[in-house]
Structure 1
């Protein structure tokens, strides 16, 4: 399994912030590796101070569960298969904005999260 390169991490961060700016948002972007360890975070001007840890949690959740955070909420509703899982680790985030990143072989190599939209 390969790792995200520093250049890939920088590109993801910069392009994520650029996209947010293009739609009028000051979103913070975070990237984690396949183990959920922070590789980088970028908070633009006027980005809220609460956004970096939220973006990191979204990325961590996507890496941990290997799915977008928009799908995680449904798993953790009362009566659902994963109900209560969010109480096992404070890093879980059930808010949309986190996406897993896979390599060309389909292996998880990291995740990206955005907060502040």
Structure 2
């Protein structure tokens, strides 16, 4: 969500067509970015608010063995982005050249 003190507030959404979707501060320009005006209740006074939605999609397999193998190999990684330090490190790595502070909480 972005708002300038003289302009309207807008919501930016990124629609991706991937099996594993992890939206990481729009690092890559994948999919289509849509813009829409916000509800007056949700408007920011000024600035930008970024919300990360992490989702994992699993495909259906014809063999249970393949599904079990896939889930067991991904079980260690499925909670990787729920750790605050992982998100903070990603923000730090990909915002090196941003001139204003970025906070995570």
| Higher normalized contact order (CA 8 Å, seq sep 6+, divided by chain length) | 1
The verdict on a shared fold, with TM-score over 0.5 as the criterion, is no
Which entry has the higher C-alpha Rg, 1 or 2?
2
| TM-score for the superposition, normalised by structure 1 | 0.29
| TM-score for the superposition, normalised by structure 2 | 0.31
More helix per residue: 1 or 2?
1
